[in-house]
A and B are shown apart, each in its own frame.
Chain A
Amino acid sequence: MKRNKRVLAIWLAAALGMSALTGCGNEGAGGSGNPDTGGSAGEKTEAETAADTTDTADSAETTDTAADETPYTFKVISENSPDDPTSDVYAIKLALDDYKKEHPNFDYEFEVVKKYDIASKIAILISSNDVPDLFTYEDGTSLDALIERDAIVDITEDFSRIGVELEDVVLPGAISSKHVLSNYEHMYSLPMQLTTNGVWYNKQMFAEHGWNVPTTWQEFQDLCADIKEAGIQPLACNGADKWPITRWIMLYADRMEGENVHLDASQNKNGRSFRDPIFVEAATEAQKMFQNGYFGEGFNTVEASTQYQMFLTGQTAMMYSGSWLLATWTDPEVNTLGEENIGYFIPPGIEGSQIDMDHASRMDDLSCATALCLGKEKFETGRTHDFLRYLFTTLGDRQSEVGIMTPYVTTEELEYSPTQQIIVDQLQESLYPTLWFEAKMDSASTDVALENAQLLAEGTMTPEEYCERLASSVDESFPVE
C-alpha cells in the first residue's frame, strides 16, 4: 500500500510538473528553435565554438568553408518589414535570399520591431549577450549607449575584416555624414540610405487651383491658408510619431539663424540654449501652424502610413517627409497619384532673417538617419564575414533597383525616375547640410522634445514652457560652465 502510494505520488507530481512547465516553453521573438543555429541567448552552439577556434576574420577561404560546412542563422532586427518592396530593408532581404540559394546551410531570421521599441529590444539583447548580427537603430546620440557598451562593431577599425574596404563600398558623402552624426572619431554604423527632407506636393492639385511653389516662408503660410480656404487640408502630418512636429521648430529656427543653431542648443554649445528667444519664436510659429488647422484634425493620432495615404489619395495638398519615400513613389501599385504628379520643394527662407534665401534653399536635413549596426559578438566569430562582403558589395545596385537613394557604390548605369531625379538634383544643390532636431540631444532631452511636442502642437503647452523644459533637460546633461 505504502509503495503504491509512493508510486502514485511520483506519477502525479511528474504530471503536475509537466503541466507547470508547459507555459514556459517559448521560442521567443526571433528564436530559432533549431539547436544547431545559435538560438539560445548567451550560449554558443557547437558550430560557433568551432568557428571561434579557426582563424576567423583574416581568411576569407576559411570563412567560406566555415559558412558552407556548418549551419548558421543570420539574425536581423529592423523597424520596417523586409517583405514590403518599398521598405529600406527589402534590398537586404533580397541579398539574404540570393546568398542562401548558393549556401544551403545559411539561413536568416528577420524580426520587425517598432522604431521606438528597438532601443528597448536591443537593451534586453545586450544584457543577455544576444545582440543580432545586423539591426537598424536611430543614429546620432542614441547610438552612444551601444558604443559605450561595446555592443557594436567599430566600422572604421574592423569593417575591412570582411574582405573589402569601407571606402570601396560606401559613398564619400555618406561616410562624411556619418562622421558629422557621430560623437566619436570612428564610425560605428553604416548608412541605410541617403535622405533629404522637404515638402512633397500634389502638382495636379496646385495646377488646378493656380497655386505656386512658395519662395518665402510668408508665402508658404499664405499658401497653406489658401489651401485651407479651398476646403482642402494643406499638409498631412504623422503627429503620432512626434518628430514631424519638432521638425517645424527646427525649420523656422534654422532659417532665422543658421543650420547649426539647434545642434548647438542641443549641447549648450557656442552660447546657445533652447531658452534663446529664437526657439520660443520658432515654437510659437510651429504651434500657430497646427492651431490654424494646416495639419487637419487629430494630427496627434496620424501615423506615417495614414499620412502617405492621405497625400496619395488627394486628401491633402502637401506633406513634409523624406526621400525614403522614393521607393513608394516609384511603385505604381502604391502611388495612385502618379510620379509625374508629385513635386518637391525645400521649405523656403524667411525674409528679413540673418539667412538669405539662397542659403535657406540649400539648407537640408541631409543624413543617413537610420543606422545599420553590426552586432559585435557575432561579428567576432567570423561566421558572417563572407555574407557581409556579399551584401555590401551588391547593396548599392540592389537599393537603386528598388528606388532607394543609395549611399553605397553602384556598378550599374542608373536611370532615374522623375522623383528620383528631383532628389538627385536636390542632393547636388545642398550646400548647407544639417541634422534633424534631436540628432545631438541626449536620450532624456530627446524624450522631452518629442513627448511635449504633441502638447505644444495641440496648444496645451505654451512655447515658453516647451523651450524651458527642453533647456532644463539639456542643462542636466550638458551643464553650462
Chain B
Amino acid sequence: MEKVLRDKKAILLFMLPAVLVYTAFVFFPMCQSIYFTFFEGTPNVDFEFVGLQNYAKLFHDVNFKESFLTTMQYFLVTGGGWVILGLAVALMLQYGMKRFSNLSRTIIYLPVVIPGVAAAALFSKVLEVTPTYGLVNSLLDLLGLEQFIRGWTGDSSTAMWMVCLVDLWKGIGYYTVIFYAGLVNVPTDLEEAARIDGAGRLTVIRKIVLPLLKPVTVMCVVLAIMNSLKVYDMPVVLTDGGPGRTTTVLSIYMYKTAFTKWQYGYGSTIAVVLLILILVLTQAVMRFERKDGK
C-alpha cells in the first residue's frame, strides 16, 4: 500500500475523479460566472456583451454599497465572534471544565447540526412579539422591562444584530471543537515547565498555548472569513433581507439581482466581488501568519 501511495501516477489516478467532479461542478461554473460579468440579460435568451459596464455600475450602485456594509457588519460580529468566542469556550473546556468536557462539547456542538432553516424558524418564535410574546419578550415582560419589548427581527435597528447573534450561537460549536482539538495537542511538558518556573495559568495560556495554537487559529480565521462572507440562509429565513434592506447581505443581493431582476451579468459581477473579497482577506491572513513565523 505504501508503495502504491508513493507512486505519483497512482496518486493522480485516485485524485482524478474528484478533480473532474470539482472542475465540472465548481471550477467551470465559477469561470462561467466570471465570463457572465461581461454580459447582461438572460443566458440562452437575450445575453448581450457589455464589456466592463457591470463593474463600473458597482461604484454607483447605492444598494451594493449598503449590502457590502451589511456584510461587513456580519463578518466582524459573527465571523469575529466565532473565532474569539470559539477560542474562549475551547480554553474553558480544556482548563476549566475538564470533568464535564465530553458532555459540554456535545451540548456546545448541538446547534451546529441543526439545519439553518430550523434554527431560523426556532428563533423567529423566540424573538416574536405578535400574536403572542416569544421567549425573549416574555422574559422582558416578567422582569418589568416592557420598554425593551419589540419585534426584534422586524425592527430595522435590531434585525441585523439578531441575524448575527443567531448565526453566532449556531456556529460557535464548530470553531470550539476545532480549537479544542488544537489545544489537546499542545505538549503538556511545556506547560508544566512554565508552571514550575512560576507562570500562572493565564500567563501559560498567553505565552505558551496561544502561540502554539497559531496554525489552528489561522485555519479558523480563514474558515470564518469564508463562512461569514457567503452567508445566505439565516438572513433569508429569519428576515428575508428586511426590514427594508437592513439585512440584505451581498449574497442575497446577488441572488435577487440575477433571479428576480433578470440581470445575470450584474449578479455574477457581485459574485466575483465576493470571491475577490474572500481571496484578499484570506491572503492577508496567510501573509500575516508567514511574516509572524519569520
**Contact between A119 and B154, CB atoms less than 8 A apart:** no
Complex formed: what's the CA distance from A300 to B13 in Å? 56
Given A120-B259, A123-B262, A149-B45, A458 contacting B17 (CB threshold 8 A)? no
- Interface flags, A237-264, vs B, CB<8A=1, else 0: 0011010000000000000000000000
Listed residue (A21, A127, A444, A455) with the most chain B CB atoms within 10 angstroms of its CB = A127
Is B14 within 8 A of A454, CB to CB?
A: no
Question: Is the CB–CB distance between B244 and A16 below 8 Å?
Answer: no
CA of A297 to CA of B151, assembled, Å: 7
A300 touches B3 (CB 8 A): no
Among A20, A299, A302, A443, contact of B260 (Cβ-Cβ < 8 Å): A443
Complex Cα–Cα for A242 and B155 (A): 14
User: Which of A3-11, A159-167, A322-330 touches B?
Assistant: A3-11
Cβ-defined contact, A302 with B262, below 8 A = no
**What are 25 A-B residue pairs whose CB atoms fall within 8 Å in the complex?**
A9-B4, A12-B10, A13-B13, A24-B21, A119-B259, A120-B256, A123-B258, A123-B260, A123-B262, A126-B45, A127-B44, A240-B242, A297-B130, A297-B150, A298-B128, A298-B154, A301-B151, A309-B131, A315-B131, A447-B260, A455-B156, A455-B243, A455-B244, A458-B155, A460-B157
Q: Is there an interface contact between B21 and A20, defined as CB atoms closer than 8 Å?
A: yes
Closest residue of A by beta carbon distance from B47: A127
| Bound Cα distance A275, B71 (Å) | 32
* Pairwise interchain contact B46-A9, C-beta atoms closer than 8 A: no
Check B45 against A5 for contact (C-beta < 8 Å): no
**Is B244 a contact of A452 with CB atoms below 8 Å?**
yes
Give the interface of A toward B (CB within 8 A): 5, 8-10, 12-13, 16-17, 20-21, 24, 116, 119-121, 123-124, 126-127, 129, 145, 148-150, 239-240, 242, 296-302, 306, 309-310, 315, 443-444, 447, 451-452, 454-455, 458, 460-461
- Specify which of B129, B243, B262 lies most central, judged by the most chain A CB atoms within 10 Å of its CB: B243
CB-based nearest A residue for B10? A9
Contact of B214 with A by CB under 8 A: no
Contact A13 B130 (CB under 8 A): no
**B4 contacts A8, C-beta separation under 8 Å:** yes
Residues of chain A with a CB closer than 8 A to B246's CB: 455
Q: Is the CB of A20 within 8 A of B128?
A: no
Which residues of chain B come closer than 8 Å to A123, judged between CB atoms? 42, 258-260, 262
Name the A residues within 8 Å of B15 (CB-CB).
16
Interface residues on B, range: 35 or more
How many angstroms from the CA of A302 to the CA of B131 in the assembled complex? 8
In angstroms, how far is the closest chain B Cβ from the Cβ of A3?
A: 13
Contact between A120 and B150 (Cβ–Cβ < 8 Å)? no
> For A309, what are the chain B residues with a Cβ–Cβ distance below 8 Å?
131
Instruction: State whether B14 touches A16 (Cβ < 8 A).
Output: yes
Q: Which residues 5-55 in B have Cβ within 8 Å of A in the complex?
A: 7, 9-10, 13-18, 21, 25, 42-46
Contact B260 A119 (CB under 8 A): yes
Closest to B22 in A: A20
B65 within 8 A of A: no
Residues of B within 8 A of A301 (CB): 124, 128-130, 151, 153-154
Beyond known contacts A5-B7, A297-B130, A451-B245: 14 more, CB 8 A cutoff: A13-B14, A149-B42, A240-B240, A297-B149, A298-B128, A306-B130, A306-B131, A310-B131, A451-B241, A451-B242, A454-B244, A455-B244, A460-B157, A461-B244
What is the CB-to-nearest-CB distance from B294 to chain A, in angstroms, rounded to a whole number?
38
Answer whether A17 and B255 are a contact pair too, CB < 8 Å, given A239-B154, A301-B151.
Answer: no
Question: Is B261 part of the contact surface with A, judged by Cβ < 8 Å?
Answer: yes
Task: Please measure, in the bound complex, the distance between the C-alpha atom of A467 and the C-alpha atom of B103, giving whole angstroms.
Answer: 56
Given contacts A148-B46, A149-B45, contact A13 B3 (CB under 8 A): no
Chain B residues contacting A9 (CB-CB under 8 Å) are: 4, 7, 9-10, 13-14
**Choice from B17, B149, B242 contacting A454 with Cβ under 8 Å:** B242
Closest-by-CB residue of A relative to B9 is A9
Q: Which B residues are CB-close (under 8 A) to A240?
A: 154, 240, 242
